[in-house]
Amino acid sequence: MKRFKYADERISEKDILVAIPSSVIGVGILSLPREVASVTKFADGWVPLLIGGCIVIFMTWAIAKFASGFRHQTFLTYASKIVTKPVAIVLTILFAASSIVITAYQVRKISNIAQQYLFDQTPIEIVALTFLLVVVYAVSGSRAGLFRINIMFLPIILLIAFSVIIFNLGWFEIKKLMPVFQTPPTDYVKALNTSTISYLGFSILWFHLALVGQPKKAPKMAALGMCIPVGLYIIIFLVCIAVFGNAVTSNLLYPTIELAKVVEIPGGFFERFESIFFVIWIMAIFNTTTMAMDISVIALNSIFKNTMKLKIIFMLAPVVYLIGMLPQDIVTVDLLGAIMGNTIVILNIFVLLLLTVIAKIRGVKRNE
């Protein structure tokens, strides 16, 4: 069937601009203020958040720049050209595996939070299963559709985030942000680690950039897109501190949701804004999860070329579910998240360096 130019599996750079924040903003921000506040003093957490953000923006730009050099080529194709096929396959599998873990982590985390804020008796297994099924439904659709979903949801997500911030203005106490710069430098480094992990989500660039029709502007767009979560995280962190103070922020499990709990809607149209906030935030988590799952689907599909996409998805789904349900308690889940985050950061940096250096040495041509 003949189709229009844009209705095929091609996406525009603008979609990358939206997809990056969509795949970054997820469950991370809900607990991030606690993690940062507990290792820094007062409101100093914004410093590591900003530095981490800058590092990540640079990495995003670098990966996009590198990947966009190989137009319309899958990661496996160009990696094979640079570092031979077996190595490329190993790298692809590593990416696939890490994305599976991200998916599982998100699914597990959302069920935990949903159980805490929306349910009481409903078992998390069921909450996770229904969420995963919806994710599977999305991933099994068209890939361009995923990007369209990102575009449709991101404005709503940002809107709800900013409405939480605005409704909290009344509870601001600027004095809680004082004094500044009292954190010892070693703690900044600790916080930097936490903050960098929270910005994960640029792995999509390795795989999805192949879909971009004209990847010339993609690096700029990706970096711009990364600025959105960096800005949002810093603002949310500062608002948390200004409203709760450092002591409370570092003790609340999900300070961002508690922030919504403080909100009193003018006019009293409805109460308990945090339920609304979290329910809408599910869309953000959904975006992150689908993008992560799609990475693993693309990665595996590029290795097993003859297997149908749907088959891969149906085989992946139980794996994701099992990994997600494996940890027993919330501490283990967080541990899983931390390990996963560090691994992915290292993996990305490693792959970027490896490919760039070897490509330079072997003089692999890019089709720019």
- For other proteins, the closer of residues 251 and 332 by Cβ is 251
4 binds other proteins, rule: CB under 8 A: yes
254 binds other proteins, rule: CB under 8 A: no
Sequence-ordered alpha helix ranges (H) in the chain:
13-24, 28-39, 46-68, 75-83, 85-117, 124-139, 143-167, 185-198, 204-208, 218-244, 246-249, 255-262, 273-303, 309-325, 330-362
47: amino acid identity, one letter: V
89 binds other proteins, rule: CB under 8 A: no
Residue 139 is classified by DSSP as: H
Phi/psi-derived region of residue 270, left when phi > 0, alpha when psi is between -120 and 50, beta in every other case:
beta
47 binds other proteins, rule: CB under 8 A: no
In the complex, minimum distance from the CB of residue 320 to other proteins, in angstroms, rounded to a whole number: 15
Q: Which of 79, 55, 46 is nearest to 246 (CA)?
A: 46
**Contacts with other proteins in 113-142 (CB under 8 A)?**
114, 116-123, 126-127, 129-131, 133-134, 136-138, 140-142
- For other proteins, the closer of residues 54 and 279 by Cβ is 279
338 binds other proteins, rule: CB under 8 A: no
Write out the two tokens for 273.
Answer: 């804004």
Per-residue binder mask for other proteins (CB under 8 A), 297-336, x = binder: -------------x--------------------------
**Contacts with other proteins in 11-30 (CB under 8 A)?**
11-12, 14-15, 18
Q: Which of 117, 358, 156 is nearest to 253 (CA)?
A: 117
By CB under 8 A, which span of 58-66, 81-89, 212-220, 268-276 interacts with other proteins? 268-276
102: amino acid identity, one letter: I
Per-residue binder mask for other proteins (CB under 8 A), 232-251, x = binder: ------------xx-xx--x
Per-residue binder mask for other proteins (CB under 8 A), 165-184, x = binder: ----------x--xx--x--
Instruction: State phi, psi for 339 to the nearest 5 degrees.
Output: -60, -50
Q: Which of 100, 78, 146 is nearest to 319 (CA)?
A: 100
- Distance separating alpha carbons of residues 15 and 37, to the nearest angstrom: 33
Q: Which of 2, 24, 14, 81 is nearest to 197 (CA)?
A: 24
46 binds other proteins, rule: CB under 8 A: no
- For other proteins, the closer of residues 102 and 285 by Cβ is 285
- Distance separating alpha carbons of residues 79 and 53, to the nearest angstrom: 27
- For other proteins, the closer of residues 166 and 173 by Cβ is 173
Residues that bind other proteins (CB under 8 A): 1-7, 11-12, 14-15, 18, 114, 116-123, 126-127, 129-131, 133-134, 136-138, 140-142, 144-153, 175, 178-179, 182, 244-245, 247-248, 251, 258, 261-262, 264, 268-272, 275-276, 279-280, 282-283, 286, 310
